[in-house]
Amino acid sequence: MSRVRTATTGRIHSWDLSTGVDGPGTRFVLFVSGCPLRCLYCANPDTWHMRDGREMSVDAVMAEIGKVQGFVTTAGGGVTLTGGEPLLQSAFAGEILRRCKEAGLHTALDTSGFLGARATDELLADTDLVLLDIKSFDVNTYRKVTGGELAPTLNFATRLDRLGIPMWIRYVLVPGWTDDLESVDALAGFVAGLGAVERVDVLPFHKLGAAKYEALGIPFPLHDNPVPAPDLIQKVRDRFSRHGVRAY
């Protein structure tokens, strides 16, 4: 079967090696430029605009991955596409995922799901794991926190589940914004109904991106927002656990 036309170049912010947060093992993490959302707590505002990224060919990206392929494979890892929002450049992302699979690498896609409709079934067939950020289960809160709509993300989660693609759900816990336990309960109930979800990561809001806002000359909206206390983090993890979902 012939494949649809693919993108051979895209715009990227950077790449890095990471262990523990971007999928299993040690991973080559590619930060793709451009994001349609504007999360209040975003730690990577320098990835928001595609125009700020540098153009790079799929071949050049694969050459970089090739330099560390032996290492990440031995370390039980693979390649993670993140951003920004990788699905903003879905053809480029799909081509990288395809080439990684051809090279025998484990692939992960870190996404808000907001542009899930742009992910073709072919792209998803080349994706071993989706790290799906569900930023709130309340429509109004989601809109306030991200500037976008919640429905596309939930639709994408349901589609991934139907396709049997493993998911790790990520939930950023922000006091005063996403710490409503009823809403967490509702999200936990939704997630518990998705058999393809392997785990939930409750990620405490942090301010490590503050310096980037300063450098960009834009205000960091949550500059004065407190970070979550350990007992709140535990409470939220417990809500997921009560629904039979493994939460960390």
Residue listed under structure tokens 């809109």 = 143
The least distance separating ligand SF4 from the CB of residue 54, rounded to whole angstroms, comes to: 17
Q: Which residues bind ligand SF4 (CB under 6 A)?
A: 35, 37-39, 42, 44, 47, 83-85, 112
**Taking the complex as a whole, how short is the minimal distance between the CB of residue 47 and ligand SF4, in angstroms?**
6
Q: Rounded to the nearest whole angstrom, what is the least distance from the CB of residue 19 to ligand SF4 in the complex? A: 20
Residue 184: how many other CB atoms lie within 10 Å: 24
Min CB(197)–ligand SF4 separation in Å: 19
Amino acid letter at 191? V
Please say which residue, 23 or 84, places its beta carbon nearer to ligand SF4.
Answer: 84
Name the one residue in this structure whose structure tokens are 């639709």.
Answer: 155
The tokens for 154 are 């939930």
- Residue 105 or 108 with smaller CB distance to ligand SF4: 108
Spatial distance between the Cα atoms of 213 and 210, rounded to a whole number of angstroms:
5
- Which of residues 37 and 245 has its CB atom nearest to ligand SF4 in the complex? 37
Max CA distance (Å), the chain: 54
Nearer to ligand SF4, 18 or 57 (CB): 18
Whose Cβ is closer to ligand SF4: residue 62's or residue 132's?
A: 132
Place of tokens 């299993």: 24
The β-bridge partners of 204 are 173
- Written as one letter, the residue type at 226 is P
Query: Cβ of residue 146: shortest distance to ligand SF4, in angstroms?
Result: 6
Name the pairing type of β-strands 167-173 and 106-111: unpaired
Report the candidate in 240, 167, 153, 165 with the shortest Cα–Cα distance to residue 202: 240
